[in-house]
Structure formats: structure tokens, C-alpha cells
Structure 1
Amino acid sequence: MIQSLDRLILCLGCFWIRFKKIKPVPKEGSFDPETGETGYFPMVLVQIPMCNEKEVYQTSIAAVCNLDWPKSKMLIQILDDSDDPTTQFLIKEEVHKWQQEGANIVYRHRVIRDGYKAGNLKSAMNCSYVKDYEFVAIFDADFQPTPDFLKRTVPHFKARWSFVNKDENLLTRLQNINLSFHFEVEQQVNSVFINFFGFNGTAAGGWLERTTVEDMDIAVRAHLHGWKFIFLNDVECQCELPESYEAYRKQQHRWHSGPMQLFRLCLPAIIKSKISIGKKFNLIFLFFLLRKLILPFYSFTLFCIILPMTMFIPEAELPAWVVCYIPATMSFLNILPAPKAFPFIVPYLLFENTMSVTKFNAMISGLFQLGSAYEWVVTKKSGRSSEGDLTSLVEKPKHQRGVSVPDLDEMKEEIRQQEQKVSRKKKHNRIYTKELALAFLLLTAAARSLLSAQGIHFYFLLFQGVSFLLVGLDLIGEQVE
């Protein structure tokens, strides 16, 4: 009931924002003497942390080098944590190529690679020249921001303390501010734009290396210190979604283990903080416990364990409202803000229930500090940008701001060669024993349900069992090399 109420509140808030056409209004602009343009042009540091990202580094560097911003007021840091010498060389050469084209871009590689991405970003913030920049824009290695990204976001920061975040995950990682819940099967924005706590980290601690969700960590600490957040729903930035089940599984494990680590570490600080009781309740019970702990536990135990086991115990019977009505209501509320997602509701539910095994395991490991809690695997990228994506990078005239884009045909040829190399590598299907074991349980329970004429349970158990079988045999998405 609490879960459905939480979803209902989120949906009502989303519809209210759309009905009232509520949008953050940027402050009035100013005049930039260098370009003669009217606008708000503070000093901006753009960072791209990457690690062995040879499939996507070219498109991401090209995209940030073509951000429409005064060149003297923007510096691009390529923070390369690659341990592969060949990848290091390629990225360094790409940076050098853009430097010759006139881009204000630098290459940085750490000798001691501690703390994963948070350690990489923390190390970069220690550079002496960073103090000259008022804002920091951070993009993952597979991001392709549009040229007007800074112009559409930076003005909202004028005379404010703000944070703009939208993620490729189905729900933004800043769920604690109770914005809209998204169910969209398409590429989402995954960009973080931070006025970095005065850069010295005295306000909220800066980047910490204690969890695998460094952005959620810094956002929660900022929230506890009274910082305000702005959600720009119309600002988008293309990014890459995992193409194989193994990559998606590793990503989801990190995203569900990390919040439990963070909850355990942040709970004393949340209780002692000066924010209101309502905000503390929202953060502890709704954001962490309900959405990160109870939901995976509910999905896993009810649909994967309790329901199939009742088929073997004649005396046990689950009421229809537990099996059908509550899950159906929650699912409807989940996709209500995105009507285009309705055709995908059934496969989405089946796949999400299948993923509950991974999420439940990650949740337990993060909460109790088990071995896999601190596992960090960089999500495998394919770098398959469409021709339309590449064309968007060269829409801006080459002479503008002294920055040009490498020849489009050359980029397409390089991508084609990379895809050919990947296709020549032998791929295989992995076997996931937990999913297969549950597939056997669910299909057996489906057969038992059919024999006992429990039709409403039969169809669910059958399709859910098939879903587990497909995942267990690695027939979802692309196979791994």
C-alpha cells in the first residue's frame, strides 16, 4: 500500500508539473565582451572521466569540444584512468588532435589509480588551475551532449546553488527530491552538472571513495547541507545503454549495492542533520528503505519464491489483490508519466521481476558489506553511434569558435572497422545458474497450477518462467566475447 501511495504521489507531482507547465526560469543574461553575445558565461570546467573506453572516446571528446561556449571560459579535462597502454595512446592522440584544432583541452592520467571514478575526479580537482573555474560539468565517457547543453543549464545556476542531474536509469538517482518517475525505453540523459561545493569540499566533503555510487553520495550530502536542486526535464544528452545482459547485470548490481552501502554510512549523518523531519522521513523511509530495499525484496520473495511455492501446498492460497491488483497498480503508476511505454509494460514487468534476483543479491551484499559490495566493473560499451548521431556533431560550422570536427567519413570508417573487429571475435552464451534454477521452479509451478485449474496463476508463472529461462541461457541482448 505504501509503495502504491509513493508511486501515486510521484505521478500526481509529474502531472501537476506538466499541467501547469512549470519549468525552471533562468536568471537574466549578461553581455560577453569576447563574443558579443548576450548570456551568462562564467568559467566552466568540463570533465570526462574514462577507463579503457576505446569504443566511445572519440565521439565523447568530439561532442564536448563542440560545446557552444566562449573558448577562453571553458577548459576540457580528459581524465584517463586506462591501464591499457594502447588505449592511453589513442586517447592522448585524440586530445592532441583537438588541441591542434583550437580546443582548450588537456589530457590527464593518474599514476596511482585509487578510488575508481570518485578518486579520479577528486584527483583532478586538486589541480591548481581548477580554482579559476566557477562550475564543473561532468560527462561519462559515452555521453554526447548537444552544443547548446551549457547554454541551457548554466543560466539556472546564476545567483543560486543548484545541481542538475538526469540519468539513463529508469529513475533518476536523485529520487530523494521526489520528482517524476520515468519509464522510458530509450536513451536518457546522464549528465551531472555541479557547482562543486566551493571546490575545497568543506561544505559537504567533496568526492568520497567510500561507495560505488559516488554521484548519489555527493548528492545526498549536499541535500543534508541544505543545497537546492533543479530538475531540467527538457535537457537531454545521448548516452549508451548496455547491450548485453552481463553488462546490464553488472551495472544494476553496482546501482543497487551502492545505495545500501551509502544508507549504512549516511544514516547517522541523516539523523543528526538540520533538515526537517519530513525530509529525513522522505530520505530514510521512501528513498532508501522503500525504493532501494523493500521493492527488490518484495518482487523477489513474492513472485520468485512465495507464489510458485504455493502451487505445491494446497492449503496455501494468495489473494488476488496481492498477486494481481497491487503489482498491476504499481506498474500502471510507474509508466503513467510516459504513455509511450504502455506497449512495453508486459515485457518490462517480466524482465524487472527477473532482474530482482540480481538486485536482491546486490542489496544484501551492500547492506552487510559482503565481498561483491565493492565490486567495480566498468560497463562495457560498444560505441555504436548511428550516422544521425555523428551528423549532429558536425551540424555546427567548422570555423565557429576555431573548433572543427574530424571528417565524418573518417569517423564512420573507424567505427565500421571497430564493429568488424568485434564481429570477428568469438562470442558465447553464459549460463546463469540462479536464473535457471528459478526458471525450473516457476515452470514446474506453472504445470502444477494448470493441473489444479488455477488459471490466473498459470499464465503468470508460465511467462515468468520463460523469462527466467531466456535470461538464464543468456538469450537476452547480445552475447559477451
Structure 2
Amino acid sequence: MAPSFHWWGKDDYRGTSVVVKMENPNWSISEMSSPSGDGNEYDVAGGGGREFAGVGARKGGRGKNAKQITWVLLVKAHRAAGCLTSLASAAVGLASAVRRRVAAGRTDSDSASSPPGESPVLRTRFYSCIKLFLWLSVLLLGFEVAAYLKGWHLGTTELQRLLVMPASFGASGLFETLYAEWVQLRSEYIAPPLQFLANTCVILFLIQSADRLILCLGCFWIRFKKIQPVPMQAVAKDPESGGDDFPMVLVQIPMCNEKEVYQQSIAAVCNLDWPRSNILIQVLDDSDDPMTRTMIEEEVEKWQQNGAHIVYRHRVLREGYKAGNLKSAMNCGYVKDYEFVAIFDADFQPSPDFLKQTIPHFKENEELGLVQARWAFVNKGENLLTRLQNINLCFHFEVEQQVNGVYLNFFGFNGTAGVWRIKALEDAGGWLERTTVEDMDIAVRAHLKGWKFIFLNDVECLCELPESYEAYRKQQHRWHSGPMQLFRLCLPDIVRSKV
């Protein structure tokens, strides 16, 4: 029963009794018969915006009384208070996480994502400078707020007087004099470089916008003209026929502690429609977990017993991470017998005809060094994060890489779902561990050597998008931590190149 407050609790009250059930986040109001026994009923429904559905719906009588409507408002206030409490708790948790990460001098909990060769002392000093800059910014902001409340602005008579004649001695006068000197320093020495940086950012934004516009127009023209790479010669339909249609292909699957997806990737690669005598699959396992390593090795042995030409390689010392793993695999003596190498990450599942759709493009095109396929996502509609990633990556593949591949014959290698000519890799210097974006590094060096690239927008390779923010953050950290370092390393070669 609803409680009787002091201004409601009268004996002659003749309202409808209700029972309120409050279960977060839903609630309901159950109706009971009127104490007067007059048989009047009300329709009060709770949840989903129907709480007032029965107001004024009394059968043969008047609308709801004030007590029932007050209960509805109290319930809504309870839900609002609960929402504010959860938001405050989330904000406190976020602030605590930021404080712990900044205090630890790192922004990623995964130590393997740090660039190779980075000094922990240098990293700690870098974040100490960031913290010092943040505290200084907060202090100056408080200083500016206090000055604004006193009515000091550039151009005011009071501030101009302080610049000409210092104020009298004292705490207030010292504050006024310091602020006047700070304004003068800011206007003469700080404002001009900041304005220059702002103008530079505006110019870079306009350049990037023009680049995006040109790429979109190029994509429209490709769609309008139906431009797409066409292989010189179609591959034979029967893999057992062998011959020149089926050159020697090396397939590499670099992985590290991939106990969730290793079975799917190994099975997809072992089912590639290619003569088994002309293909070798390398499972390049860098796992440091003994249980995961054992499971992957048993999976490889199972496919070996089924007739697949597959080998298992494990490194004891994980130097260079993925780049070091691929470099170690390419140093095997039997690699010289193969002409092409296809690379798939552990969460990628190529279709059986993947090699039939990509290898023919190398025929009679000796300048072609890379054929890159498009990624397709099996979980693109899982949640809002995956949908946004799908939009971003679709623009990257269909607009950026397709247009650059058609008109420039160059784009960044995606690190997976691509086929390289081994001669192009060797000519570019092979895999290097100098940066975390080894795929972009090898692509730039190969392009500077004169090799051409082809992007196949109609050839897709299935993979998964990160479904949680933590996994997405780690992925983006790996993707964005190396490009500036690579730019610094490759800039001299780019300037000297004749391409």
C-alpha cells in the first residue's frame, strides 16, 4: 500500500489503492479495488512511457487522483537518480583508470605493443613532461579565470594602466602586476606561434579535405567506368593439372597466443584449392603459453595426417615480433623454391579459390610485386563499435586503396590477405624490425624500388572486427604508433628516389 503522508492521511480519503513494484530498471503499478466499493477502476500501466496511459480513463468517472500521479513522478525521479549515480560512478572509474595509467608512465597495458627498442626510462620521462604540462595548463587556466572575473581584458583601460605604471606594493598589487606582464608576454611571444600553428592546421585540413574529395571522385569514376584489374591469363579450373598455371606458393600464418581462432584459420588455409605439391603452409607460432603452443602443434599434426603440406615453426626468442617472425620464416632454405608468398593473420579465413583469384594477376606482369585483397567482416553488425569500424574500413578499402591502386599503382600493404612476389620482398630488403608497422614499411621500400601493386576490391577475405573497446584500443595503438617513426626513417629514401 502507498504510505500515508501527513497532508494525505485523512480518514475520509476515497481514492484508488495501488501497489507499486520498483525493480530497477522497470517498475509497475498494480491496481486494487476502491475502499468505497463503488467498483470504479483505473488503468495505470508502468514502464516504456505508458505510466499515464490510464489518466482520465476511469470508467464512468473522473481521471486519476493526485496520489497515483505523485507515485509515478516519484518512480521516475528514482530512476533518474539511479541513472545519475551510475554516470557518476563511471566518471570516477574513468578518472581512476587515467590516474593509474599516467602514474605508471604508459598508456597501454600490453607491453608487447610498445615499439621495439624503446627505453622505459625515456617513456617515463615523456609522460612526466605531459603531466607537468597538464598541471601548468590547469594553473594558468585558473589564473585566467580569476583575471576574467576581475574584468581584465586586452584593451581595457585598467590593464593598459597596469602595463604603463605598476600597481602599488601588496598581494593584490603583485597579482595585478604579474597578470599584466603575463598578458604582454602572451600577446608578443606566445600568440604569434600559436596563430601560425592554427593556420598550419587549417591548411592541412584543407589539403586532407581536397585529398578525400579527389579520392571520392576517383572512386565514382571507377564505378562509372567499371574499372577493375583483369588478369592476363585465367588459371586452369583443375588443380591437378599442374603446369605453369599453378606456380609454387608459400602460405604463412603468423600468430601469437591465438587459441580462439587458430583452428579456423589453419582449416581455411589447408582447404585452399591449389595443388598440394605446389603449396607449403607455414604456421609461424610465437606463443609463449605452453598450452596454446601444444594445441596449435596438435592441430598442424592433424592436418599433416590428412595430407596437407603444412609445417609448424616456433621461435624461442620473440625478437622483432611479427616482422621478426616473418623474417625468420623467409630465411628457411626451402623458400628459394617458391615464387610467391601469401600472408594471413590468425583471424583471417580465405576462401578456397583465393589463390586462383590473385595469382593470375602476376602472369606476364613482371613489375607486379603485390596483390592485395579486401577484408570482409563476419561480425560487422555485432554492435555500434563494429558498425562504425566497418564504415571506416570500407572507405579505406573501396576509396583509398582502390583509387590509389588504379591510378598510382601504390598503397600500403595491410599486413594480411595479400600475395607478394618473393623477388619483390628480397629486392626491397626483406622484413625489418625497425618499426611496428612492418607492413607499411615493406610496401614503401618495394614501391621505391619500382614494384607495382594491385588492389582487388571484388576478392574478399573473411575476418573479425574487435567487439570491445579494449581490444579496439590495442589494435589502433599498434596501427598508429609507427607511421611517424617510419616517415622519419623513409624520408631520405623518398627524397632521393626517382619514382
Q: Is 1:231 aligned to 2:460, yes or no?
A: no
* Partner of residue 162 from structure 1, selected from 365, 369, 372: 369
Q: Matched residues in 2 for 1:235 and 1:174: separation?
A: 16
Residue deviations 1:420-473, cap 9 Å, x none?
xxxxxxxxxxxxxxxxxxxxxxxxxxxxxxxxxxxxxxxxxxxxxxxxxxxxxx
Q: Matched residues in 2 for 1:146 and 1:265: separation?
A: 37
Question: Secondary structure at 1:121's aligned position in 2?
Answer: helix
Distance 1:230 1:30, change over 3 A: closer
Contact map agreement 1:189 1:239 (CA 8 A) in 2: no
What does residue 99 of structure 1 align with? 304
Distance 1:135 1:56, change over 3 A: same
Distance 1:117 1:204, change over 3 A: same
Contact map agreement 2:402 2:455 (CA 8 A) in 1: no
Opposite residue 178 of structure 1, the aligned amino acid is: N
Q: How far off is 1:189 after superposition?
A: 11
Distance 1:147 1:153, change over 3 A: same
Q: How far off is 1:159 after superposition?
A: 2.4
Q: How far off is 1:24 after superposition?
A: 1.0
Contact map agreement 1:217 1:262 (CA 8 A) in 2: yes
Distance 1:190 1:130, change over 3 A: closer
What does residue 43 of structure 1 align with? 248
Residue deviations 1:15-38, cap 9 Å, x none?
111111111111224669972379
Residue deviations 1:202-229, cap 9 Å, x none?
x211101011111111001111111111
What does residue 222 of structure 1 align with? 446
Question: Secondary structure at 2:443's aligned position in 1?
Answer: helix
What does residue 151 of structure 1 align with? 356
Moved more, 229-238 or 24-33: 24-33
Contact map agreement 1:29 1:38 (CA 8 A) in 2: no
Q: Is 1:264 aligned to 2:264, yes or no?
A: no
What does residue 63 of structure 1 align with? 268
Q: Which has the higher contact order (CA 8 A, sep 6+)?
A: 1
Q: How far off is 1:192 after superposition?
A: 2.0
Residue deviations 1:35-57, cap 9 Å, x none?
23798210000000000000000
Opposite residue 27 of structure 1, the aligned amino acid is: M
Q: Is 1:205 aligned to 2:410, yes or no?
A: no
Q: Is 1:250 aligned to 2:474, yes or no?
A: yes
Q: Matched residues in 1 for 2:210 and 2:314: separation?
A: 48
Q: Give the aligned CA root-mean-square deviation in angstroms.
A: 2.5
What does residue 292 of structure 2 align with? 87
Opposite residue 24 of structure 1, the aligned amino acid is: P
Matches within 5 A, 1:288-437: none
Q: How far off is 1:255 after superposition?
A: 1.1
Question: Secondary structure at 2:455's aligned position in 1?
Answer: coil
Matches within 5 A, 1:434-445: none
Q: Matched residues in 2 for 1:260 and 1:176: separation?
A: 24
Task: Please list every run of 5 or more consecutive structure 1 residues that lacks an aligned counterpart in the other structure.
Answer: 181-187, 276-481
Question: What is the TM-score when the length of structure 1 is the normalising length?
Answer: 0.52
Max radius of gyration: which structure?
2
Q: Matched residues in 2 for 1:74 and 1:166: separation?
A: 19
What does residue 138 of structure 1 align with? 343
Contact map agreement 2:242 2:275 (CA 8 A) in 1: no
Q: Matched residues in 2 for 1:131 and 1:157: separation?
A: 18
Question: What is the TM-score when the length of structure 2 is the normalising length?
Answer: 0.50
Residue deviations 1:175-210, cap 9 Å, x none?
597359xxxxxxx995121112356x2x21110101
Contact map agreement 1:81 1:120 (CA 8 A) in 2: yes
* Partner of residue 497 from structure 2, selected from 273, 286, 289: 273
* Partner of residue 195 from structure 1, selected from 414, 421, 424: 421
Contact map agreement 1:29 1:39 (CA 8 A) in 2: no
Q: How far off is 1:259 after superposition?
A: 0.9
Question: Secondary structure at 1:155's aligned position in 2?
Answer: helix
Opposite residue 268 of structure 1, the aligned amino acid is: P
Opposite residue 192 of structure 1, the aligned amino acid is: G
Residue deviations 1:313-349, cap 9 Å, x none?
xxxxxxxxxxxxxxxxxxxxxxxxxxxxxxxxxxxxx
Q: Matched residues in 1 for 2:491 and 2:402: separation?
A: 14
Q: Matched residues in 2 for 1:17 and 1:153: separation?
A: 20
Task: Please list every run of 5 or more consecutive structure 2 residues that lacks an aligned counterpart in the other structure.
Answer: 1-205, 376-391, 407-413
Contact map agreement 1:174 1:219 (CA 8 A) in 2: no
Opposite residue 155 of structure 1, the aligned amino acid is: P
Question: Secondary structure at 2:422's aligned position in 1?
Answer: coil
* Partner of residue 118 from structure 1, selected from 318, 323, 337: 323
Contact map agreement 1:30 1:38 (CA 8 A) in 2: no
Q: How far off is 1:70 after superposition?
A: 0.6
* Partner of residue 464 from structure 2, selected from 214, 223, 240: 240
Q: How far off is 1:153 after superposition?
A: 0.3
Contact map agreement 2:256 2:285 (CA 8 A) in 1: yes
Q: How far off is 1:165 after superposition?
A: 2.3
Q: Matched residues in 2 for 1:190 and 1:144: separation?
A: 11
Contact map agreement 2:249 2:278 (CA 8 A) in 1: yes
Q: Matched residues in 1 for 2:215 and 2:369: separation?
A: 21
Opposite residue 222 of structure 1, the aligned amino acid is: A
Q: Matched residues in 1 for 2:434 and 2:400: separation?
A: 18
Opposite residue 345 of structure 2, the aligned amino acid is: D
What does residue 185 of structure 1 align with? none
